[in-house]
Chains A and B, each alone.
Chain A
Amino acid sequence: MFPPLQDLYRIAPEIVLCAAGMLIMVIDPFVAAGHKRSMGWLGFAGTLIALASLRWAAMNTGPAYSGLLRMDMFSLFVHGIVISVAALAILGSFDYLDREGIQRGEYYALILFATAGMGILASANELITAFIGLEMSSISTYILAGFRRNVLKSNESSLKYFLLGSFATAFFLYGIALTYGATRSTRFDVINQAIANHGTGTLLILGLGLIFVGLGFKVVAAPFQIYTPDVYEGAPTPVTAILACGPKAAAFAVMLRIFYSAFGNASHVWFWAIWVSAVLTMCIGNFAALVQTNVKRLLAYSSIAHAGYILVAFVAASQMGAAAVLFYLAAYAAMTLGAFLIVAHVGGTGEQRLNISDYAGLGTRHPWIAACFALFLFSLLGLPATAGFLGKFYAFQAALDQRIVWLVVIAAINSVIGAYYYLKVVVAMYFNEPNKEWAPTPMHAPMFIVLLITASATIYLGILPNRLMEFAIASARSLR
């Protein structure tokens, strides 16, 4: 039977994204090698239409496909993040792909498919649907990570990501099976009801643990973060930008749904697990980042640390905690995307300039790029008047609100440790003399627009965060 029209509205963004992706795949063979960039513009248009279709979806909120999916404020918020990330990453990839000689249509199609998967994750209302979304986004990103086929590191990255990712999803699937065994359902609301009625048995706790392993891998929570630096370093930098923002946001979203909605009544079970994981994630990310000399690896470790900060808000297990996670994800997406795309730009052909020492004197040579990068770094560091600070502020507040004091103190001290390595890059850019000359890479309009948007978003969210915060609060409210 054909599904009711409303159900289609509720997955409109995914339909648009997949349609655009398939359109690219179909047209691609007919486009001459020199004009592949037009495929990128097509993909970009696809993301814009998907963004526009959110409005449609927003007017038709509610469960779809007999409760498999749920389009609500929460889902809209996450959709907004992941689709914007995809749109900006597509714009930021043009020059990079040209430079590397890998300008091809599949690239954009894969980004769109991955984003559709993330969208499904965001609106999943049931464990199997979540699994499908996870697989859709994962498999696309496995391929994207290895897109620089001639580069050994990229192959390594892809393979590592694929093997470990497969393990993780297997764990996730096991978790689903056990949960189903314990509660006789995969629907979040039914699971929630079952826990309320029968409490948590061993089987259910085991299932929850395995689900956490699977999702912890995707959100790079310790101890499942091992793969991150290598994968992030080897993947083409614009892809790294997506990996760090998109799948993470979507995985956190589904984690919120599973832990808050389905296992909300079992929060005493997962509280300490996440607490410990948050501490480990922050400490491992920050301490390892201290000794990095490669900017891409440094940002990879920093993204681990930030997952830890998000977990701090997550532990709160309150509405404010969910709102803080969402706000943090948006703020984090803006600054991380910008930072990674600058790394892609400065890296030059073959990503040869990734060391901190290569950034020496950037402040005098490319004042605007350096200023933007400094802004993103300060924001990642958590300096007031930037998005990163508000994210941290909100996260800490959510945790403190639930009297989780020591975790916040640990997080606060961690953010000072983090300051050291972010400042190390700033030191290189502004305080060190340029050590070798290179011809400045020309910056083209798409990249310029991306930087402009991410930088203004970073400042805007730092100074006038109220609008997004209210949206985040409304989203958190729709979670239950």
Chain B
Amino acid sequence: MVSHNYLLTVLTFFPLMGTFALLLLSGDDHVWIRRFTLFASVIEFIMSLFLLRGFDLATPSYQFEEVYNWIPSLHIHYHMGVDGISLFLVLLTTFLTPLAVLCSWNSIHEHVKEFFAMLLVLEMGMVGVFCALDLFLFFVFWEVMLIPMYFLIGVWGHGRKIYAALKFILYTMLGSILMLVAILWLYRLTSAAGNPTFDLPAIQAMLSSGQISLPWRSELLLFLAFFLAFAIKVPLFPLHTWLPDAHTEAPTAGSVILAGVLLKMGTYGMLRFCLPLFPTAAHRAAPVIATLAIIGIIYAALVAMVQTNLKRLVAYTSVSHLGFVVLGIFVFNSTAMEGAIYQMLNHGVSTGMLFLVCGMIYDRRHTYEFSELGGLAKPMPVLCAFFLFACLSSLALPILNGFIGEFMILIGTFHHHPGWAAWAATGAILSAVYLLWAYQRVALEKVTVAKNENLPDASPRERLILIAASVVILFMGVASPLFTHRMDATTNALLQQVQTTASYESHTRHAAPKSARASAPGAPSHELAMRAVTLTSERRTQP
């Protein structure tokens, strides 16, 4: 493990070094700028794979930890570490960034150097968010990351890009500023307890050991302040309006990163902060949050169905799918929670791939309107085949990745709240409707617009991108235990913590009567189904 001492720091700041190196290149040398960025991001990905090798399956605690004093007068530390939740999110980030670089190969013509520099800065921010274990450090990465995204949308986007960029950044800032107040309030509590710190594990320990006692009202307020920031990022149903605009107007690389990684930061934040720090409030708020998530799942699916713009449709699918993730988190059940984490990864890859395909179509036709597309399978059979593959993955076809995640979430939810699961499942059906219908309108039928007759099929570069994404999708579909194994320890520890701290809550409220109703017919079939799906049996016994 000695060699891994600085791995997270290297992973976080390597892209920044890449940015500085990039700035030294001449701005006109587009070829080398692209090659260099690709090289840097691939190296970053390879380095991130070392995380897998050194990762210890058995322990739920943070690994690859680094702690240094940063601002001693405020007790701020530079504390990095990953666990089973963040491990794969880091990998997802480092995997999607090279794809984003590749897909921008020929579609960015202006300010090429600045574009790739922004991408690398963005990567630094994203990796930093997932690794930071100090609340201050986390907040720094969380906010700093907004700026490159803001520029990506505003400078290289299309259509109403300025409106979309401003909306994106103001929405996110509004959420996060209240989180900052909550962070400071937590700090005040720790200093009142005699050990002022911003360190997440320390605060967590102080909260669960009762060193800091939170009155019920302030716990709820703190929970809401954190939750609002994350819910906007996810985005949860009534807060989602920034997303379609940002997604639609962003350049392809921006959309891929936005959908693939940025949205996950919201759900990641819920797992990392909301649940372990404020378990009671989380339990009490869970019915409301789950309801909003279910409304989001169905509402966004319905809205997606009537879109006339392919990219906007894909954007709405994100709202719907992330609703599943939020639902999976807030049923407090290890199957559903692992499903949620898994679905975060799935969604990153599948929706990322959908946006990549959208981008490739846009590169050829400069439009996302369905009326301008149609019958594209004839001129571009390969591209459309991959498009179908991405759609199937996104609508959760068995043996592809999306199925596992969604299924685990639904089964876990069903165990406690069959009603919720039933409603959420309609979203899964609707997703088949809108995605296949979208595919039909884009790829099948007759070529309606003359321009579409002679479009070139996927180039080798594009095939490389799509194959890479497809391989991962298929791999995640058949080899899910490789992933879920690594999440087990963390998820169980997290749930245990949430449950023990808030146990009286869950018993008195909803869990007891409903699970009694559900478990009798539900549990055996659930157990069977899990065996079939994940090829693992013993470790998933219900708590």
Contact = CB atoms under 8 A, between A and B. Distances in A.
B73 A466 contact: yes
Interface string B55-85: 0000000000000001111100000000000
A464 B72 CA distance: 10
B131 to A, nearest CB: 16
Interface in A395-443: 396-397, 400-401, 403, 405, 408-409, 412-413, 415-416, 419-420, 423, 427, 430-432
Contacts of A383: 143-144, 146-147
A389 B147 CA distance: 14
Contacts, number: 86
A134 B35 CA distance: 61
B155 interface: yes
Interface string A361-401: 00010000000000000100001110001000110110011
Nearest to A466: B71
Interface stretch (B165-173, B234-242, B275-283): B165-173
Contacts of B169: 419, 423
B140 interface: yes
B154 interface: yes
A430 B154 contact: yes
Interface residues of B, number: 36
Interface string A455-478: 000000000111001100100000
Label chain B's interface by main secondary structure.
helix
Given A378-B147, A408-B184, A430 B155 contact: yes
Given A383-B147, A384-B140, A416 B74 contact: no
Contacts of A396: 180-181, 184
Contacts of A420: 166, 170
B73 A431 contact: no
Contact of B161 (A415, A419, A423, A431): A431
Contact of A469 (B74, B151, B184): B74
Contacts of A413: 174, 177-178
B181 A412 contact: yes
A427 B154 contact: yes
A428 to B, nearest CB: 10
Interface residues of A, number: 33
Given A394-B74, A396-B180, A396-B181, A385 B144 contact: yes
Contacts of B146: 383
B196 to A, nearest CB: 10
Contacts of B165: 427, 431
B13 interface: no
A211 B257 CA distance: 55
Contacts of A465: 71
A413 B360 CA distance: 40
A430 B151 contact: yes
Tell me which of B111, B165, B170, B180 has the highest count of chain A C-beta atoms within 10 A of its own C-beta. B180
A423 B139 CA distance: 20
Contacts of B143: 383-384, 389
Nearest to A414: B177
B437 interface: no
Contacts of A384: 139-144
B170 A393 contact: no
A401 B71 contact: no
B180 A393 contact: yes
B177 A416 contact: yes
B284 interface: no
A393 B151 CA distance: 25
Contacts of A464: 71
Given A384-B140, A427-B154, A473 B73 contact: yes
A416 B173 contact: yes
A469 B75 CA distance: 12
A408 B184 CA distance: 10
Interface in B143-163: 143-144, 146-147, 150-151, 154-155, 161-162
Interface in B320-373: none
Nearest to A428: B162
A385 B140 contact: yes
Nearest to A427: B162
Nearest to A386: B144
B12 to A, nearest CB: 13
A85 to B, nearest CB: 24
Contacts of B162: 427, 431-432
B155 A408 contact: no
A473 B155 CA distance: 42
Given A400-B181, A412-B177, A412-B180, A419 B170 contact: yes
A465 B146 CA distance: 22
Interface string B170-211: 100110011011001101100100000000000000000000
A364 B144 CA distance: 22
A4 B71 CA distance: 41
B71 A469 contact: yes
Contacts of B74: 394, 397, 469
Nearest to A374: B147
A401 B74 CA distance: 12
A331 B150 CA distance: 25
B154 A409 contact: no
Interface of B: 70-74, 111, 136, 139-144, 146-147, 150-151, 154-155, 161-162, 165-166, 169-170, 173-174, 177-178, 180-181, 184-185, 187-188, 191
Given A383-B146, A416-B174, A423-B166, 19 more contacts: A384-B141, A384-B142, A384-B143, A393-B180, A400-B181, A409-B178, A412-B177, A413-B174, A413-B177, A415-B177, A419-B173, A420-B170, A423-B150, A430-B151, A430-B154, A430-B155, A431-B161, A466-B70, A466-B73
Which 8 pairs show the lowest CB-CB distances between chains A and B? A384-B140, A412-B177, A469-B73, A431-B154, A384-B143, A400-B184, A416-B174, A466-B71
7 contacts: A383-B146, A389-B140, A397-B187, A400-B185, A400-B187, A413-B178, A430-B154
